[in-house]
Amino acid sequence: MRVFWPVTLAAALLVGLLAYGVFSKGGNTTLDEAVGRGERPAAPVASLPVLGADGNQSLADYKGKVVVLNLWASWCEPCLEEMPLLQQTHEKISSRGGIVLGVNTQDVSSKALEFLDEIKATFPSLRDRDREYGRRFGATGYPETFIIDRKGRVAAMQRFPVDQAWLDKYLPKLLAEEA
């Protein structure tokens, strides 16, 4: 009878691993795969509260503009490091039909506003209190950045901090496109 307990234990572990594989959810990679194939899928749209102001806004409010959509949080060190570049980008592209739009996630509003004030960010930010909007982009960490074309489609994405070379690779071409 003692001979069977290792087999029973091994079987139980195997069943546990199979159940975990069936029921666990990894990040949604649908968007990554489509953009990787050169497609431009429609960007998820949701009405979200404006950070530091009354009312709601949506990515749809910016249709006709090239949007650098950045998912960020005040507690995220890499977010802090890339924010000055995003502010510079906002200043450069705003006269050319572009905008940087932040989406703050899982943050206390006062901390998020303090964070933006500290780095002197002037681009608008929305609040994704429960990460639901970010999940629609397949977000798994922060920061994550998506460049949305004038028709509201995801043209490029970066799952970690952006740099000038990445922005230069996509923005000039998208800013030159017609709506």
pLDDT in tens, 76-110: 999 999 999 999 999 999 999 999 999 999 899 99
What pLDDT, on the 0 to 100 scale, is given for residue 146? Answer: 98
What is the reported pLDDT for 20?
Answer: 37
Nearest to 132 by CA among 55, 74, 71: 71
Q: Report pLDDT for 72.
A: 96
Ranges of the chain with pLDDT below 70: 1-28
| Domains contained in the chain, CATH given | 27-176 (3.40.30.10)
pTM reported for the whole predicted model? 0.83
Residues 166, 172: Cα–Cα separation, whole Å:
11
CB 92 within 8 A of CB 175: no
Residue 35, both tokens: 């953009």
Q: Which long-range contacts (CB under 8 A, 24 or more apart) does 29-37 make?
A: 29/138, 30/138, 31/137, 31/138, 31/154, 31/157, 32/138, 32/157, 32/159, 34/154, 35/154, 35/155, 35/156, 35/157
pLDDT of res. 15:
45
Residue 82: name the closest of 174, 159, 30, 134 by CA.
Answer: 159
Contact indicator for 49, 126 with CB cutoff of 8 Å: yes
